[in-house]
Structure 1
Amino acid sequence: MIDQTFRVKNIDCASCAAKIEHGLKNAEGIEEAVMDFVNLTLRVKAIDLDRVIDKVRSINPEVELTPKTRYTEEDADGVVSRNSIAVLILSIILFLTQLFSEEWIYAQPFENLEILIVLVAYVLAGWNILLNAVKTILRLDFFDENVLMVIATVGAILIHAYSEAIGVMIFFRIGELLQQVAVSRSRRSIRGLLNARPDKALVQRPDGYLEFHPEDVLVGEIILVKPGDKIPLDGRILSGNSQIDTSALTGEFIPVSKNPGDPVMAGQINQTGALTITVTRPFCESSIARILDLVENAAAKKAKTEKFITTFARYYTPMVVIIAACIAFLPPLFIEGASSETW
């Protein structure tokens, strides 16, 4: 089995990530698949990685996978654009106009104005939902949240519940924007933590200090940390005195004085004086490495409740649609005097 982590691009909803994860877990030749929507990573254990890529493309052709290395540059996270906010505000204005002037419009000779206002507000609030719904239907997946939103709102429009149709679409869009803001902040916080990861270590050799990656440094070796550099590995100070910034690990921004014999941890920043340090732990066992591992692999350690909700939603959504369709179409067939318009 090959254990590989991919960087994921062109995915913008948590449900889409869950769908890809579920599809991979059920695919032949894939032992494990964990999609992390916040970090935009996919970790798989599979016999053939090409099969993984092909399966993801079959689920969502727009998603791109690129192998992630320990030195991969992070992509800029998406933030809510001003255009999105402006379009949403315009749709809200049109929604309120239609809501509070409905009776006045009916009394005017240009009653079709209401339909125009409704359609414009509806498209402005939910154009991306409509687009995603069309893409989902073309993939023959009829129980996506976007498809359900379109079914509900189009149904409301057909029974002339215009305010409800626009209102639902607007509130759904607001929820998406709030989720985007929350995820964006989480990604920035995680990126700040990842930036604390040291990427080089000056190791003492007979001909001077040479630069190595922290993962290649052995326990017992002596390293040099210059002022302004990150401490690359956990160790104990041999010589030198300095002020140490521990905020990356502890959140405390007041520097701590360190002297010969004091322990230091990887990810801390040496501020004032040069230090020579004896390495006491390999990088994989250092404090910063453990924290990074917890953050990057948090998605793989789902609680039982989260797993239950994910499984429950997979069956709950289609059942609700089927029950709603039965309530709408079956009573006129079996109840005397019942009309399809009423139901």
Structure 2
Amino acid sequence: MSSAVPTRPALPPVRAARPAVRRTAALLALVAVLVLAFAASLALGSRWLGPGAVWHALVSSDGSDADVIVRDLRLPRTVVAVLIGLCLGIAGALMQGHTRNALAEPGIFGVSSGAAFAVVLGLQLGVADSVSSTVWFALAGALVATFGVQRLASRGSGATPVGLALTGAAVAALLGALTSSIVLLDADTLDAYRFWAVGSVAGRGLDVAGQVLPFALVGLALAAINARDLDLLTLGDDVAAGLGLSIRRARLVGLGAIGLLTAAGVAACGPIGFLGLLAGHVARRMFGARNVWLIPAAGLIGATALILADLVGRLVGGAGEVQAGVVLGIVGAPLFVIVVRRRAVAL
């Protein structure tokens, strides 16, 4: 008489698929919120427009005042906000993953400081006299600073998370000091620089978005490639190397993505602080540590947050407006401090 060994029944496919279904639903919800924020940005401002007026301006414009407001003023800055928010949100998630610190931000690599220094040089030389020309100076400075930090941090034992953070902080401090020394000695340069340094999507048109779009697309592609490698890196360098991962290649790809995405954002809108920090942290709380889900979620959160910050600045500014970078600092920083005090932030 044979006795059958009882086996544990396999989990139903539906139950095994539930986490993926929930995460997919959450991503779709973030997309829906982004679409609503986009629509609100077109409709609201110093002059409120109804859905019919917005739709008319988009599909059958006849040159009326409402059509001009939507098509020429609100639509370009909203598109720029989506692109730059997406870039900075993903850059923040990548930075936090590579440094294993949920409080890290892209600016720690000295990217913003490099862009600011290059813009100041362009302003002083009189060759960065428009938004379009400023974009290229900021982009060049940001990329040089990013890869300069990687090169310096790679000396010796390689670009470790701590080494990248310390080297980036040192480079940022040096470039910040050089920038301050230039603007304090030149009143005209200071006057022009302060409008760029506050961080804003105002006055940025589709031409600016087009100039930084190629760099943003390359950065997004590198981020997608780096997502699975970053999951292994969170286990520790030794474990990741034991699983066959090239640590140096993964770090270089991640750093390239962070540099390109942050450079595109800083070049187009100036150094908008806190956005990458907030987007990466909120996405991690919603989706956990799986970067396949975390990275796109951070991008959607960053894009929505920048649109809403710009919208709030327009609504509370009266005849003028409060810049998006100021709104993010005033509203977002205290909220983030509260979240940090209530929860652990280590990855």
Tell me the TM-score normalised to structure 2 length: 0.26
**Bigger proportion of residues as strand:** 1
Tell me the TM-score normalised to structure 1 length: 0.26
- Which structure's relative contact order is higher, taking Cα pairs within 8 Å and 6+ residues apart? 2
